[in-house]
């Protein structure tokens, strides 16, 4: 496994605030530079850049990978910020979302990173329709995206994004039936939709290409925005057990700390990320991470 960061951890720094959070005093400009600088300073293996904090995909080519080296850089597509952006594939409702995803698949191919995180939607776009209706509508868009990505040499890691359950994902994968379609596993999003963290991890582990790992404070995980995040190892999440399940399933990809809801008090997300990376280095399989 590789130790990494998903740049959603920097969301306040990029000007996005979740419910209750205090805005950053000195926000970063849109672009990859500040996140890459921090990731390089702490020596992580991987950095996945949320595309909502980046300029248009046509800006990027292989020079981004060279600029970030030795950190390996990938893209995370589908977060709906700022207002008006697509909620991933918008639950299969939007041809425009499919076209935007294709632009980021092309960018990922130019970047030279073989895995692109995508989302099918978000909690805000989910609505109250039956799950089988949502899955049926997603089959065509996800299959088209996977086929387009395969032609570009890209695998798609579909995140359980607080909108779909483990059962929904397995049903969708069975129907889409594409070998380059896998999972971006988010442990907290499992419990946000009522799945069990360990059983959900066990079910999705064989398909997992990328992990967004969160730790969290006690409280109701189904509240809007999810539970308040802590640095890894400082909350109540069963993180060692999750890593153990993934290791036994043969997962050897990036495990990225992700900070989501940060609560209403003062917060230093850079320090939280750094403590989280220290925890990951102590707990991922020995001898695999870059020293």
pLDDT at 197: 98
The residues near 266 (Cβ < 8 Å, ≥ 6 apart) are 22
Give me the pLDDT at residue 200, please: 98
What average pLDDT score do residues 61-71 get? Answer: 96
Q: What is the rounded radius of gyration, in angstroms, for the C-alpha atoms of the chain? A: 17
Q: What is the band of 282 on the pLDDT scale with cuts at 50, 70, 90?
A: very high
Query: What mean pLDDT value characterizes the chain?
Result: 96
Per-residue H/E/C for 35-84: HHHHHHHCCCCEEEEEHHHCCCHHHCCCHHHHHHCCCEEEEECCCCCCCC
For residues 140-164, give the mean pLDDT.
97
State the pLDDT at residue 286: 57
- pLDDT score for 291: 34
Helix residue ranges per DSSP H, the chain:
33-41, 63-68, 95-111, 123-126, 131-151, 166-176, 187-192, 197-204, 239-248, 269-283
Q: Cα dihedral sign for 119, 125, 128, 129? A: negative
Residue pair 200/214 in contact by the 8 Å Cβ criterion: no
Q: Output the pTM of the full model.
A: 0.96
What is the predicted pLDDT for the residue at 288? 40
Examine the pLDDT at 81 and tell me if it is beyond 60: yes
pLDDT band per the 50, 70, 90 thresholds, residue 287: very low
pLDDT tens per residue across span 88-142 = 999 999 999 999 999 999 999 999 999 999 999 999 999 899 999 999 999 999 9
Tell me what the mean pLDDT of segment 238-263 comes to. 97
Does the pLDDT of residue 76 top 90, yes or no? yes
Q: How large a percentage of the chain has pLDDT more than 90? A: 96
pLDDT at 127: 87
Which residues, at least 6 apart from 10, have a Cβ–Cβ distance to it below 8 Å? Answer: 28, 34, 35, 38, 53, 269
Residue 96 corresponds to which tokens in the numbers above?
């425009």
Helices (H), 152-261: 166-176, 187-192, 197-204, 239-248
């Amino acid at each position: 496994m590789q130790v990494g960061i998903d740049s959603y951890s920097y969301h306040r720094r990029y000007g996005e605030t979740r419910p209750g959070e205090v805005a950053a005093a000195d926000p970063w400009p849109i672009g990859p530079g500040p996140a890459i600088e921090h990731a390089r300073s702490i020596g992580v293996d991987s950095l996945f850049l949320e595309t909502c904090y980046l300029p248009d995909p046509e800006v990027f080519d292989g020079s981004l990978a060279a600029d970030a080296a030795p950190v390996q850089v990938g893209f995370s597509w589908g977060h709906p910020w700022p207002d008006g952006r697509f909620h991933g594939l918008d639950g299969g409702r939007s041809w425009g979302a499919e076209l935007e995803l294709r632009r980021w698949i092309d960018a990922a191919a130019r970047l030279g990173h073989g895995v692109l995180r995508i989302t099918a939607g978000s909690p805000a776009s989910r609505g109250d329709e039956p799950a089988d209706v949502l899955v049926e509508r997603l089959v065509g868009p996800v299959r088209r995206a996977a086929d387009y990505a395969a032609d570009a040499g890209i695998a798609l890691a579909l995140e359980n994004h607080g909108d779909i359950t483990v059962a929904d994902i397995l049903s969708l994968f069975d129907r889409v039936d594409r070998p380059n379609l896998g999972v971006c596993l988010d442990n907290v999003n499992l419990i946000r939709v009522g799945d069990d963290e360990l059983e959900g991890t066990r079910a999705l582990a064989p398909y997992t290409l990328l992990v967004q790992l969160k730790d969290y404070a006690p409280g109701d995980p189904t509240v809007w925005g999810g539970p308040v995040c802590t640095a890894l190892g400082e909350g109540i999440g069963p993180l060692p057990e999750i890593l153990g399940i993934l290791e036994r399933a043969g997962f050897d990809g990036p495990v990225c700390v992700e900070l989501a809801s940060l609560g209403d008090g003062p917060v230093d997300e850079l320090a939280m990320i750094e403590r989280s990376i220290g925890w990951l280095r102590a707990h991922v399989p020995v001898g695999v991470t870059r020293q």
